[in-house]
Amino acid sequence: MQLAEAEAPSLAERASQLLASGSPEGRDKAYKTIRQLIDAGSEAQPLVPVVQAMYKHVLAADAGAIPVAEWMRANELCAEVQLVDYFAIGSASAEGYSQGIWQPKGILHQIASKKAHDLTQQDALVAGHGLIGLVGLCSHGVTRVMQEGVLTADGTDTDVMFFGRFLSPTGCAFLPQAAEACGHTLASSAERNKRLIELQLQLVKEAHTRELSSLEVAGLWIAMGFSCMNSRADVGRWAVESVDFLSVVMEYARAFQPVDFVHRTNFVPAMLMVAFRDCLTAATASGLELTTTAIELGVFDLMVSILVALEQPQLAAEASVAGAKTRTQTTAQTTAHGH
C-alpha cells in the first residue's frame, strides 16, 4: 500500500509521539505504525525523527524499564528503518547508538556486568541485537564510507562521516578508547567474550529452528567479530584454536553464491566476511601464521569469485561495490601478511 505524499510525515510524527508516551500500549501502536511506513515505501526524511525517538525512549532506556523482548524487537525494527536509506537515516542514529544504546544503566551493560559462567543464550542473543545497528554500515563498506563518503546516484556527496569518531580509519573496528567512551565494555573480559562466542555460535546453528531473522543472524556474526574479537588477540587465537572459528565461518559461507556477498541487503554473507576478517586479524596479532590455513579453507577463491560477481552489470543497482571490495581487500591483506 502506497502512502499519500502528506501521509508519511503525519504517521511518522504520530509514531514519535507514541514512543515518547511511556505507555507499553502506545509503543506497540508506534511499532505497528513504523512497520506500516516501511512496508508502504516511505521516503527517508520522515523516518529520521522516528529513529531518534526509538533510541531516546526505547533503546537507550535503563535495564528493566523496557522488557528485553520488546527492546530486541525495537532494535531490529530500528535497523530496518535505517535500511530504507542508510546514508540518509543512519547519521541520525549515530549519537543514539554510540551514547544511548551503550549507556551505563542499559540492557547491554547489564550483560557486560555478568560473569562468564552466568551468561545465557538469551544474553548472547541480546548482545547480537546490540550490533544490528552496524549491519547496514558494514554491508555498505565502512572504509569507503569513512574515508571518502559515498556518492549518491546523481553524483552528490552524502554526509556519512559521522561514524569516524569511533571507527578505525582503516577498517571496521571500534577504537578501544572510543568504545570505552560510549560504554562498550563487553570487550573487558576475555573469558566473557569467549563464552559469548560459544553461545552465539550455538544460536547461529539453531537459527532455523529458532526462526531468527537474517538481521538477527547477521547481528550475531558481527557481534562475534566486532564485539568479542576486535583488539583482542587472545580471544582471536582462542577462537581459531578452540572452536575452529575460521572453518565454521567458511562452512556457512559455502551455502551462499558469490553474488550473495555483493548484494547490499543480503546481510548474512557480508557479516560472515566481517567475522572472518576480525578473527583473522586478532589471531594473527597473537602470532599465529594463518596464510596456509586461509588458502586451504578457500578464502582466496571466494574473494576472486566475489570480485568477478561485482562485474555483472545487472547487479549495479543493488550491489554494494565499496562494501564488497573493502571486505575482500582487507581480508586478503591480513591473510597475505600472515602476522
Angle made by CA atoms 57, 50, 40, in degrees to the nearest 5: 140
What pTM was estimated for this model as a whole? 0.81
Task: Give the start-to-end residue ranges of the domains of the chain.
Answer: 1-113, 115-339
Sequence-distant (≥ 6) Cβ neighbours of residue 47 within 8 angstroms? 12, 37, 81, 84, 89
Please give the chain's pLDDT, 339 residues, in tens.
556 556 888 999 999 999 999 999 999 999 999 999 988 888 888 888 898 899 889 998 999 999 999 999 999 998 888 878 766 676 666 666 665 777 778 888 888 888 899 999 999 999 999 888 777 766 655 434 433 444 333 333 333 323 322 233 333 333 333 344 333 444 457 898 999 999 999 999 999 999 999 999 999 998 998 878 877 899 999 999 999 999 999 999 999 988 787 766 778 988 898 899 889 989 999 999 998 998 899 988 888 887 777 676 555 445 444 444 445 555 555 555 554
Q: Rounded to whole angstroms, how far apart are CA atoms 223 and 225?
A: 5
Grid coordinates given for 96: 543514539
Name the residue among 258, 246, 260 with its Cα closest to residue 304. Answer: 258
